[in-house]
């Protein structure tokens, strides 16, 4: 299992620079081959310019983290990046909805800027690899990873390895269509995707709508005190206090997530789903409620009874997956 205590590497130890680019933040970490976090994670807001994620400024952040890595004792093994979007083998980000990126050559730009191999992969794939290598999925041949935060995505581990499909794009559960006619617009360019109903921004949207429609809700006072619009954490906080509007909103989210989990079980016959992301962590009993809802949608009672929905076991599984990816690529062929 991963060790979370910061611990400087000895002069002979190998470590990797892991980077997770999310929809609102970039996290970096130095992690060794045993899964030890060597220093506190660094978290920086994603730089935006004119509503788009800035590639140049993102590379500046990676460059600063790379400088810190090279100053550390031990053997620097490499850099790997997870991102909240669809990425091909060359690191071309074909779409990252929350960054409003389309066909952005992140991998090529990073390799040119830093002069070293840089692997860019889908963050959900990296998170699944992290849990399979260092976390709750270790020793489990078949399981699924689901993240619910700024966006919503998944990755399935089959026979011990993350499954990418023919092009590496498998797992885009957040973009299963719920209502393409009347649904809210999604950052991917379509309407009514699942994440439009279950992601953090969707929860905030519904909370703000409750105020705008004149509902009697404590969300109005929360937003006024914060000086800004409603946020997803506010809705969870209001739900915990029994606010009717918030209870309805989170209840709907639980139903959408539970249906998605049940669909995963029906399609793949898996018994373990590991869930990460801010939304999954926000409500005290959110995952238990989603698990119970999922069982109602499992075709097989046996599969439903065996289903376990557990929280992410690592402090950002995608970072640990990026590190695992570096060490897997560095391992000689046929090494154990």
259 vs 169: which has the higher pLDDT: 259
- What pLDDT sits at residue 308? 96
CB 81 within 8 A of CB 21: yes
CB 165 within 8 A of CB 157: no
Burial level of 330, CB count in 10 A (0-12/13-18/19+)?
Answer: middle
Q: Which own/partner contact pairs does 185-193 have at CB distance under 8 Å and 24+ positions apart?
A: 186/97, 187/97, 187/98, 187/100, 187/151, 188/95, 188/97, 189/97
- What pLDDT sits at residue 335? 38
Percent of the chain with pLDDT over 70: 94
Q: Could you tell me the two tokens for 6?
A: 């910061």
Sign of CA dihedral 202, 208, 211, 212: negative
Which of 28-32, 166-170, 302-306 bottoms out in mean pLDDT, i.e. has the lowest? 166-170
Between 232-240 and 200-212, two packed helices, what is the crossing angle to 10 degrees? Answer: 70
Average pLDDT in the 125-152 region? 94
CATH of region 14-131+315-330: 3.30.420.40
Average pLDDT in the 236-242 region? 96
- What pLDDT sits at residue 203? 97
* Cα–Cα dist 13/34, whole Å: 10
* Cα–Cα dist 133/128, whole Å: 9
Which residues are bridge partners to 5 per DSSP? none
* Cα–Cα dist 273/100, whole Å: 29
19 HSE (CA, 13 A, CB side): 29
Domain 140-311 = CATH 3.30.230.10: no
**Average pLDDT value for the chain:** 92
- What pLDDT sits at residue 24? 87
pTM, entire model: 0.88
CB 96 within 8 A of CB 153: no
Q: Where are the domains of the chain?
A: 14-131+315-330, 140-311
CB 223 within 8 A of CB 234: yes
Q: Do 14-131+315-330 and 140-311 share a fold? A: yes
Place 6 in a pLDDT band, splitting at 50, 70 and 90.
Answer: low
- Phi, psi angles (nearest 5°) of residue 31: -135, 135
* Cα–Cα dist 225/234, whole Å: 11
* Cα–Cα dist 44/204, whole Å: 22
| pLDDT tens profile 241-286 | 999 999 999 999 999 999 999 999 999 999 999 999 888 888 779 9
- Phi, psi angles (nearest 5°) of residue 40: -55, 140
Average pLDDT in the 42-58 region? 95
Percent of the chain with pLDDT over 90: 81
Judge whether residue 298 has pLDDT over 90: yes
Residue owning tokens 């249906």: 259
């Amino acid at each position: 299992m991963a060790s979370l205590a910061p611990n400087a590497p000895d002069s002979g130890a190998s470590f990797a620079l892991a980077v997770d680019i999310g929809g609102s933040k970039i996290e970096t970490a130095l992690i060794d081959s045993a899964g030890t976090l060597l220093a506190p994670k660094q978290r920086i807001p994603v730089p935006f310019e004119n509503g788009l994620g800035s590639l140049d400024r993102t590379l500046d952040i990676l460059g600063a983290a790379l400088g810190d890595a090279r100053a550390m004792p031990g053997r620097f093994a490499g850099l790997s990046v997870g991102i909240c979007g669809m990425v091909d083998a060359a690191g071309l980000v074909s779409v990252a909805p929350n960054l409003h990126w389309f066909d952005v050559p992140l991998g090529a730009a990073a390799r040119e800027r830093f002069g070293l191999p840089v692997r860019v992969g889908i963050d959900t794939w990296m998170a699944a690899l992290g849990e399979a290598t260092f976390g709750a999925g270790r020793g489990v041949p078949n399981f699924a990873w689901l993240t619910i935060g700024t966006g919503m995505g998944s990755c399935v581990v089959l026979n011990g390895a993350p499954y990418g499909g023919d092009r590496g794009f498998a797992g885009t559960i957040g973009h299963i269509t719920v209502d393409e006619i009347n649904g809210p617009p999604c950052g991917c360019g379509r309407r009514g995707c699942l994440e439009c109903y279950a992601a953090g921004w969707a929860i905030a949207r519904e909370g703000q709508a409750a105020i705008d429609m004149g509902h009697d809700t404590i969300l109005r006072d929360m937003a006024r005190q914060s000086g800004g619009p409603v946020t997803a954490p506010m809705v969870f906080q209001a739900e915990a206090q029994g606010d009717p509007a918030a209870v309805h909103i989170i209840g709907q989210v639980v139903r959408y997530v539970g249906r998605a989990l049940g669909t995963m079980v029906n399609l793949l016959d898996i018994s373990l789903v590991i869930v990460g992301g801010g939304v999954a962590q926000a409500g005290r009993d959110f995952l238990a409620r989603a698990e119970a809802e999922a069982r109602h949608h499992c075709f097989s009672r046996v599969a439903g009874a065996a289903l376990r929905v557990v929280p992410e076991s690592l402090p950002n599984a995608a970072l640990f997956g990026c590190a695992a990816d570096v060490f897997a690529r560095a391992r000689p062929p046929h090494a154990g």
